[in-house]
Amino acid sequence: MAKKPNIIEAFESPELFGSLFKDQKTWGAWKTFLKALYGLPLSSDDYKMYVACTDRKAVPKTSFEEAYAIVGRRGGKTQTVALIAVYEALFGDWQKYLSRGETAYIFSIATDKTQARIALDYIRGILEIFPDVVSKELTNEIRLKNRVTISVKTCNFRAARGYSTACIILDELAFYRSENSANPAEELIISLLPSLLPKAKLIGISTPYGKFGYFYQIFSKHFGDENSDILVWRAGTRVMNPQYRQDIIDRLYKRDKSAMKSEFYAEFREDLESYLSEDILERAIVSGCRMVPYDSEKNYQAFVDPSGGRKDSFSMAIAHQEDKSVMLDYISEIKPPFNPSEAVKIFAEIFSNYRITNVVGDRYAAEFVVSLFKENGIYYKESKLNKSEIFLEFAGLMSINAVKLLDNERMKNQFLSLERKTQSGGNDIVEKVVGMHDDIANSVAGVCVSVYKNIASKPTEAELKARLPHLSSTRKRSPFESAAEEMHKIMISSGCTKL
């Protein structure tokens, strides 16, 4: 290791990484990607592959410091980025940029702990070839004797300050999700970029997903752009891994064409879209308003999303009519673990503060939830709409600016994590992303839809007047007519819709 090899030399050398890749020919596409990434000469075959996978014709003259690879499943992504991480750790020559006592970090960032462990196992497997370079192994990182540490994190990693970063690997970037952030991928990258050392690389790699989010934005803006200093590479599974069996792809493709185009042919899914855009949400949010206190002049409604207390949160939301729109007044969430009986008591007290005795809730709520509310003086009524139907109606209200929302970050992030999918029959459904929660979003959407339905069905003041007998101002009113007029005034002020 006295002379620094380029990454292809290291890839092919039996003394370095070559022993890990027994059939070098099957890794030809990945070698082309690495040549383009590091600004190495391309052969004629490399050039054809480069043009096909980047939609560029000009040969790169220098290396790229930022690159994204959109590759089908089982295409060798994690193994390749593990190789890049170890290569940069061993041959990056980072000490010249470090102060006394400083360490250069290489971050491999995964979607979750399981994926992070897989990435770390690949890295450990490569480093077994070089046992003398390892100083110490910890649960989530490996410290090397050359003052470089390879650290594996999940995508909710935020403590970027204080690090000197030699390389950032973003594994399965299209699937980064976090309830603490509306745009976890973008926010993570922005937080890490200032820590990069000179000539450090940022590499995002993933199977594609829907046509939304940071990964798709990068693809849309930079794929095929000859002038971009960001490399975007796209290739299907068998382009990058020709050993993967085509018959498996064909069999799965028959089951779900849209999903398998993404999984194996690296195409962003046409049947998926984000449920609500951040712009639409921000337009509805009343900045700085966390809750609206009770007003005796208002009539309030509530919606609850119950839970047994083990896995999901127990959430509720309160809202009222304000002119021709809905105003969200209150949001509450009790996170697991909790005692359902105690949770219902807490919510029942809040409902009593808003003079609410009837609530609408999830139609799949267990009978014990109904009983617990009844014990606390609250009548629980199941929603006629399921969760997806509620979300679809709520999206319609948002599109016509019929809702004013509280300033609540968890609510916002849950709405942004929802996905709208077109089914084979043409109907849309709204679902949460696996691993995310939608409890608050469901309660908020439910109460807003309930309140707006009352607005839509409520007669105007003119219509209410038309339903009463004509009251002449010139003749003397009978006691019955006077009582009717008084009742009419009370109904108008109270918002009552039925005579």
Report the chain's mean pLDDT, rounded to a whole number. Answer: 86
Does residue 247 sit in the same domain as residue 308? no
Does residue 189 sit in the same domain as residue 141? yes
What's the confidence (pLDDT) of residue 390? Answer: 94
Mean pLDDT in residue range 218-238: 95
pLDDT digits (tens, 9 = 90+) for 413-466: 899 889 888 876 667 899 887 777 899 999 999 999 999 988 766 555 554 455
pLDDT confidence tier of residue 61, bands split at 50, 70 and 90: confident
Per-residue pLDDT at 246 exceeds 60: yes
Mean pLDDT in residue range 182-202: 84
Who contacts 284 (Cβ-Cβ below 8 Å, separation ≥6)? 398, 401, 403, 404, 405
Rg (CA), the chain: 30
CATH number for the domain including 185? Answer: 3.40.50.300
For residue 172, tell me if it sits in a domain. yes
Does residue 198 sit in the same domain as residue 222? yes
Mean pLDDT in residue range 128-153: 92
Does residue 394 sit in the same domain as residue 480? no
pLDDT digits (tens, 9 = 90+) for 68-79: 999 999 999 999
Range of the structural domain that residue 323 is part of: 279-457
Do the Cβ atoms of 189 and 66 come closer than 8 Å? no
Domain end, chosen from 249, 269, 289, is at 269
Does residue 237 sit in the same domain as residue 316? no
What's the confidence (pLDDT) of residue 424? Answer: 66
Mean pLDDT in residue range 392-418: 92
What's the confidence (pLDDT) of residue 497? Answer: 43
pLDDT digits (tens, 9 = 90+) for 319-348: 999 988 999 999 999 999 999 999 999 999
Mean pLDDT in residue range 303-314: 88
pLDDT confidence tier of residue 157, bands split at 50, 70 and 90: low
For residue 311, tell me if it sits in a domain. yes
Domain end, chosen from 238, 269, 300, is at 269
For residue 215, tell me if it sits in a domain. yes
Place of tokens 């994204």: 68
pLDDT confidence tier of residue 498, bands split at 50, 70 and 90: very low
Express as a percent the part of the chain with pLDDT over 90: 61
Poorest-pLDDT segment among 222-226, 253-257, 361-365, 436-440: 361-365
Express as a percent the part of the chain with pLDDT over 70: 88
For residue 399, tell me if it sits in a domain. yes
Poorest-pLDDT segment among 30-39, 107-116, 171-180: 171-180
Mean pLDDT in residue range 108-121: 88
Higher pLDDT, 401 or 188: 401
What's the confidence (pLDDT) of residue 296? Answer: 94
Do the Cβ atoms of 273 and 420 come closer than 8 Å? yes
Total number of domains in the chain: 3
Poorest-pLDDT segment among 241-250, 254-263, 383-392: 254-263
Query: Using H for helix, E for strand and C for coil, what is the string for the chain?
Result: CCCCCCHHHHHHCCCCCHHHCCCHHHHHHHHHHHHHHHCCCCCHHHHHHHHHHHCCCCCCCCCCCEEEEEECCCCCHHHHHHHHHHHHHHHCCHHHHCCCCCCEEEEEEECCHHHHHHHHHHHHHHHCCCHHHEEEECCCEEEECCCEEEEEEECCCCCCCCCEEEEEEEECHHHCCCCCCCCHHHHHHHHHHHHEEEEEEEEEEECCCECCHHHHHHHHHHCCCCCCCEEEEEECHHHHCCCCCHHHHHHHHHHCHHHHHHHHHCCCECCEEECCCHHHHHHHECCCCCCCCCCCCCCEEEEEECCCCCCCCEEEEEEEEECCEEEEEEEEEECCCCCHHHHHHHHHHHHHHCCCCEEEECCCCCHHHHHHHHHCCCEEEECCCCHHHHHHHHHHHHHCCCEEECCCHHHHHHHHHEEEEECCCCCEEEEECCCCCCHHHHHHHHHHHHHHHHHHHCCCHHHHHHHCCCCCCCCCCCHHHHHHHHHHHHHHHHCCCCC
The Cα angle at residue 364 between residues 362 and 365, in degrees rounded to 5:
70
What's the confidence (pLDDT) of residue 237? Answer: 95
For residue 108, tell me if it sits in a domain. yes
Exposure letters 419-452 (e unless 16+ CB within 10 A, then b): bbbeeeeeeeebbbeeebbbbbbbbbbbbbbbbb
For residue 12, tell me if it sits in a domain. yes
Q: What's this model's pTM, rounded to 2 decimal places?
A: 0.73
pLDDT confidence tier of residue 481, bands split at 50, 70 and 90: very low
Does residue 103 sit in the same domain as residue 117? yes
CA distance 419 to 490: 44
What's the confidence (pLDDT) of residue 478? Answer: 46
Per-residue pLDDT at 1 exceeds 90: no
What's the confidence (pLDDT) of residue 45? Answer: 95
CA distance 205 to 209: 12
Mean pLDDT in residue range 351-365: 90
Higher pLDDT, 258 or 414: 414
Per-residue pLDDT at 302 exceeds 70: yes
Mean pLDDT in residue range 462-477: 47
Does residue 442 sit in the same domain as residue 490? no
Per-residue pLDDT at 240 exceeds 90: yes
Does residue 451 sit in the same domain as residue 485? no
What's the confidence (pLDDT) of residue 477? Answer: 45
For residue 499, tell me if it sits in a domain. no
What's the confidence (pLDDT) of residue 459? Answer: 55
Treating both helix axes as pointing N-terminal to C-terminal, what angle do 387-399 and 439-457 enclose, rounded to 10 degrees?
60
What's the confidence (pLDDT) of residue 163? Answer: 86
For residue 2, tell me if it sits in a domain. no
Does residue 300 sit in the same domain as residue 261? no
What's the confidence (pLDDT) of residue 426? Answer: 64
What's the confidence (pLDDT) of residue 271? Answer: 80
Mean pLDDT in residue range 145-172: 84
What's the confidence (pLDDT) of residue 149? Answer: 95
What's the confidence (pLDDT) of residue 224? Answer: 95
CATH number for the domain including 351? Answer: 3.30.420.240
Tokens of 145: 């004797």
pLDDT confidence tier of residue 472, bands split at 50, 70 and 90: very low
Does residue 258 sit in the same domain as residue 129? yes
Does residue 52 sit in the same domain as residue 154? yes
State the maximum Cα–Cα separation within the chain, in Å, rounded to a whole number.
Answer: 111
Does residue 207 sit in the same domain as residue 67? yes
pLDDT digits (tens, 9 = 90+) for 174-185: 888 766 666 678
